[in-house]
Amino acid sequence: MKDWPLYEVFIRSKNGLNHKHVGSLHASDAHMAIQNARDVYTRRTEGVSIWVVEAKHITASNPDDKESLFDPAEDKVYRHPTFYELPNALKHM
């Protein structure tokens, strides 16, 4: 069981919301990863849907590129819709 691959787990907590990364676990295959995720991450009714993906299939940005990737957005406040008032009926924004 030491050579079981690592899976990243995403849970949708309610219909209409998006799947969120909740953690990772080991499993022999994707199907078992779903079962494990069900037992490890949805014991307290946290979810209505589970995605798992083998961690090796995720390409991540390099922390060293942080400045070039993210800093340029910092002084562009006009990209945020902060000047609008959101209607009360709109949730999860």
Q: Where does this chain bind other proteins (CB under 8 A)?
A: 1, 4, 25-28, 31-32, 35-36, 39-40, 43
Give the span between the Cα atoms of 41 and 36, in whole angstroms.
8
Least gap, CB of 23 to other proteins (angstroms): 11
Q: Which two tokens stand for residue 47?
A: 């979810």
3 vs 85 by CB, closer to other proteins: 3
Least gap, CB of 37 to other proteins (angstroms): 9
6 vs 69 by CB, closer to other proteins: 6
Least gap, CB of 26 to other proteins (angstroms): 6
Least gap, CB of 14 to other proteins (angstroms): 20
Instruction: Say whether 25 sits in a helix, a strand or coil.
Output: strand
17 vs 54 by CB, closer to other proteins: 54
Give the span between the Cα atoms of 79 and 84, in whole angstroms.
12
CA count, 13 A, side-chain hemisphere, 44: 0
Cβ pair 11, 19 in contact under 8 A:
yes
